[in-house]
Structure 1
Amino acid sequence: MTTLRVDRVVTSGQFCLDGGCWDVDNNIWLIGDDEEVLIVDAAHQAEPILDAVAGRKVVAIVCTHAHNDHVTVAPELAEVTGAPIFLHPDDDVLWQQTNRGVGYTALWDGQRIGVGGAEVQVLHTPGHSPGSCCLYVPALGRLCSGDTLFAGGPGATGRSYSDFPTIIASIRDRLLTLPAETVVLTGHGDSTEIGAEAPHLQEWIDRGH
């Protein structure tokens, strides 16, 4: 039996919404062992992601949300690997902006996805987008937070389909209740821990962004 782990791939491209585009670097997380893997997010270029998969069986391609920079190459990855794409249906309006007419499998709160002998738990955490989800891997003490929680605070809520009070509620009720030592693997930038972020909740609320 091989060891369960999480690998990181970083790709670069643009995030586009509401008529503007911004250069971004995205973290793609691969949860699995030497035999099979779960791809978390599908940003910008398929080749570096497939290189990191390294021939393993891809159980699924899970999109934490449907902003274009997290779903760009999901259809390409699905075609190459034969794996299903999972996305929360509340983000369908955003998905259609990038991958119009491409099908996906509904991702739901409380769903459990097996990979490498472990379970990945789906937490619906709306706010950054209506269908934003985080993936918790209890066996590793890891949380893939997408763009819901970063080192230093919540994800952005200044654009369409996002809401600040909603993201605060998601972080407070769904994420900060996890063990303090849980490592938060973010959609962009550096990782953090639940225990490092939890004391700052009121500051974020007071700041209001």
Structure 2
Amino acid sequence: MTPPGPVDHVVTSGTFSLDGGTWDVDNNVWVVGDENEVVVIDAAHDPEKIAAAIGGRRVVAVVCTHAHDDHVNQAPRLADTFNAPILLNPAEAPLWEMTHPDRTPDRDLTDGQVITAGGIELRALLTPGHSPGSTCLYAPELGTVFTGDTLFQGGPGATGRSYSSFDTIIDSIRSTLLTLPGDTTVRTGHGDSTTIGGEAPHLEEWITQGR
């Protein structure tokens, strides 16, 4: 049997609801660590599928890049199953409470915080805009950043709904993400991965389109 890699990828399917609308979505769930312990990034939709990817490994934390329901709907269940804390930036509280009014995250996720699993360090990068406390996770030794819904292949995350800001997401991408090495792999919350260098040249184009 092939041992798990430092990054395991699970695609789960469900819905996203906000502002009175509901959409079908496929989400990327990332399991990062080694053969002994992992961090789960964005526990979405299908706890059994995510648990199968975790296997018998210890879960250091269930980390939420932001609190839209399609990224957190299974966070409490996974956290309880694996006796792990849920980490979320406190600015996400209004969105979290829409999905989990009777459960709070266990710990704050703060800018610059480092979470370690299996010797791999994940550094939290606060990147508001898609939502108030959206946070990316940068793993320098893997040459990877997990961007949630802040940066996708082809542009920034959506900002047309409550608690979002186009100007703020552009500032976050420009000042935080585009300063990472160009060959950094961008592993997104939905869809295909890309690189920082592949997206950087299009910033001004996005700004023109967004306004």
TM range (shorter): over 0.9
Question: Which of residues 136, 140, 143 is equivalent to 1:141?
Answer: 143
2:115 maps to which residue?
A: 113
SS at 2:115 equivalent:
strand
Give CA-to-partner distance per residue, 1:171-205, whole Å, 9 cap, x none: 00000000000000000000000000000000000
Alpha-carbon distance, 1:45 to partner: 1.4
The residue aligned with 1:100 is: 101
Q: Distance in 2 between matches of 1:83 and 1:181?
A: 32
CA distance in 1, matches of 2:178, 2:4: 27
Q: 4+ residue stretches of structure 1 with deviation over 2 A?
A: none
Amino acid at match of 1:138: P
Q: Which amino acid aligns with 1:43?
A: A
Q: CA deviation at 1:23?
A: 0.1
Q: What's the offset of the Cα at 1:60?
A: 0.2
1:160 aligns with 2:158: no
Tell whether the 8 Å contact from 1:4 to 1:116 is kept in structure 2 after alignment: no
Greater mean deviation of Cα atoms: 99-108 or 123-132: 99-108
Residue 66 (structure 1) aligns with: 67
In the TM superposition, what is the alpha-carbon distance from 1:5 to its structure 2 partner? 1.1
Q: CA deviation at 1:90?
A: 0.3
Please, what TM-score do these two structures have when normalized by structure 1? 0.98
Structure 2 residue aligned with 1:25: 26
| Alpha-carbon distance in structure 1 between the residues aligned to 2:171 and 2:5 | 31
Secondary structure of 1:130's match?
A: coil
Mapped partners of 2:50, 2:189: distance in 1: 15
2:176 is matched with 174
Instruction: After TM superposition, give the deviation of residue 159 of structure 1 in Å.
Output: 0.3
The number of equivalent residue pairs is: 208
